[in-house]
Structure 1
Amino acid sequence: MAQFSLQVQPVDAAEWIDTARRAEAAGFHTLTAADHPGSCAAPFVALAAAAAVTTRIKLGSYVVNAGVREPMLLATDVATLDVVSGGRAVLGIGAGHTPVEWEAVGRVRPGVRARVDRCIAVMEATRRLLAGEKVTVDIPELTMHNAVLDKPRPVQDRMPLLVGTANSRLLRWASEHADIVGLTGFGPTKSDGHEHRVRWRLADIDDQVALAHAGGEPALEALVQQVEITDDVDAALAENARDLGMSVAELREVPFLLVGSADEIVAAVRRNRERWGITRYAVRRPALELLGPLLPRLSEV
């Protein structure tokens, strides 16, 4: 059964509450909020507000920047969300990539290896705190002493962990420890420090999926960059094909794009399950109207 997560940023109170209610009514599995301190809303505050007006939809971060978040505060935030939502929280974490977010907290963004080391340390420490353990860590990337999350205690015995990444080391770690691997398809960060090159060649995706299942069988979720219902797929994908140096035929096979007629999108979701085992999709705000009517069909794929 395919599941869809809707990533949205609050614009105002009325719009956010309405979106949460509509997403749940449409059948979206999870409502998620991004984490880019200084340029978007605080994810757990926004999700707690959504919890008050929904009853079934899961609520998660997609994804918190482990480079600028401390495990004690992160565990407290997600445990609080779990309590106020009645056990619907999902913890999504990534290594982070935008330099300005480090600069804003008085740090210099580390290189890739150090960011990955920090991300793994934060995930392990946060999970241990949520499990009620006393945590001490003393490594270059993270220092904690006798940290314990006494209150609040999460409702769920095991907080679902989503790791959003295309990094090989994180994919391997997530294959053994995560509940969900968010396949981003990202390549190196561009010079603006925010946008990415992509790794959308089918062989690249094969490699990412192999790493994500190297040590276990977490659910695989594709981060979708374009959702469009159209009878003219060639025209809809022409710009991406030109920019990426790929053919439209190749892009039709990429799980990070859901473009085509309703029947073609359903067929693509089925094909992605059969080839890669992808059963989840993270989509953005426009997909609420575009995919909402299709979710009953997609949920059966």
Structure 2
Amino acid sequence: MPTLSVQAKPDDAASWTALARRVEATGYAALLAADHPGAVASPFVALAAAAPVTERIALGTNVAQAGVREPLLLASDVATLDVVSGGRARLGLGAGHTPAEWRMLGRERPGAAARVRRLIAVAEACRTLLDGGEVTAYGPGLEAFGARLTVPEPVRRPIPLAVGGGNAALLRWAGEHADIVALTGLGRTLADGYSHEVRWSGAQIDRQVALIEEASARRETPPEREALVQHAEVTDDAERAAHALADRIGATAAEILASPYVWLGTVDEIAAATAAHARRWGITRYVVREEHLDAADRLLAHLNKPCSEKS
């Protein structure tokens, strides 16, 4: 059975803590927060607020913006979250894509290769710091001088690391080092600085998974594979819904119906699709955005039924 988590952002204290309680009570694995500095609430403050009203679920970023966050401060935030949640923190990292997030700091967004190098440097530094080590690094991607995280010490070591994206170099590194590789289905950032091309065809996902498998071949425990669900809809007419989405998303209806990034159909059909994705691509984890929580609740309830009760 796949593992389901929820990505959300707070609008006010009451609805955020209510959501955290709902995510835990319904049986999701984690509550995750996005990170777009200046455009959404601070993920670590939000997740720390969710900690005292939950007991079981993991709490993490999906994903922290490695392009503009310094690893010592990032590691301190993660360690603090782990302390206040009793060992439930998860660090999710991405290379960043929104030009405004750099411009507001007086910089220009680097090219894709430089952003991936920065992500790798930040991920390695954070992991070393969270494991109690010292970081000294010189280079265009990162500078640190005897950095150590003395206080607070995380409750759990190692803290799970998820790396999200679709760049080939990123996937190779994640396959070799991450605990979770988070596939987004997103390609090149479009001119508006926010939207993306999609990479949803089976052949494109095959290539990405092959990179992960090749990189993780020597690992005793390979990383888990997770997909970000961009749309979820329980319907008796999946084909019609796919055609309605096709022009807006930039993928064919056939690609949408076969994609792990969209859930369309009855709960039986969606459950069957997740089983097919596990067989073909090894995807066993999904992240669903809050706006699709009702559909995800129905799928989770179906998945948790005894086999004798499933239609």
Name the SS for the 2:93 alignment partner: strand
Q: What residue in structure 1 maps to residue 219 of structure 2? A: none
1:210-252: per-residue Cα shift (whole Å, max 9, x none)? 1122222210001111000000112211133234664423321
Name the SS for the 2:154 alignment partner: coil
Would you identify which runs of 4 or more consecutive aligned residues in structure 1 move more than 6 Å? none
Summarize the Cα distance change of 1:143–1:247 in structure 2 as closer, same or farther, 3 Å threshold.
closer
1:240-293: per-residue Cα shift (whole Å, max 9, x none)? 323466442332111000111011011011111111110000110133222213
Aligned sequence identity (%) = 55
Q: What residue in structure 1 maps to residue 26 of structure 2? A: 26
1:176-219: per-residue Cα shift (whole Å, max 9, x none)? 10000000111110001111001111100100111122222210
Q: What residue in structure 1 maps to residue 115 of structure 2? A: 115
Between the aligned partners of 2:294 and 2:24, the Cα distance in structure 1 is 13
Within 5 Å, which residues of 2 pair with 1:25-174? 25-174=25-174
Letter in 1 for 2:261: F
- Decide which moves more: 6-15 or 106-115: 106-115
Q: Kindly indicate whether structure 1 or structure 2 has the higher relative contact order, using CA contacts under 8 Å at least 6 residues apart.
A: 1
Conserved? CA contact 2:267–2:298, under 8 Å: no
Letter in 2 for 1:197: E
Q: Which blocks of at least 5 consecutive residues in structure 1 are unaligned?
A: none
Letter in 1 for 2:180: I
1:89-146: per-residue Cα shift (whole Å, max 9, x none)? 0000000010100011121111111111111000000100001111100011111000
Conserved? CA contact 1:3–1:299, under 8 Å: no
Name the SS for the 1:52 alignment partner: helix
Do residues 249 (structure 1) and 237 (structure 2) align?
Answer: no
Conserved? CA contact 1:175–1:212, under 8 Å: yes
TM-score (norm 1): 0.97
Aligned residues: 301
Q: What residue in structure 1 maps to residue 177 of structure 2? A: 177
Do residues 240 (structure 1) and 245 (structure 2) align?
Answer: yes
- Decide which moves more: 206-215 or 164-173: 206-215
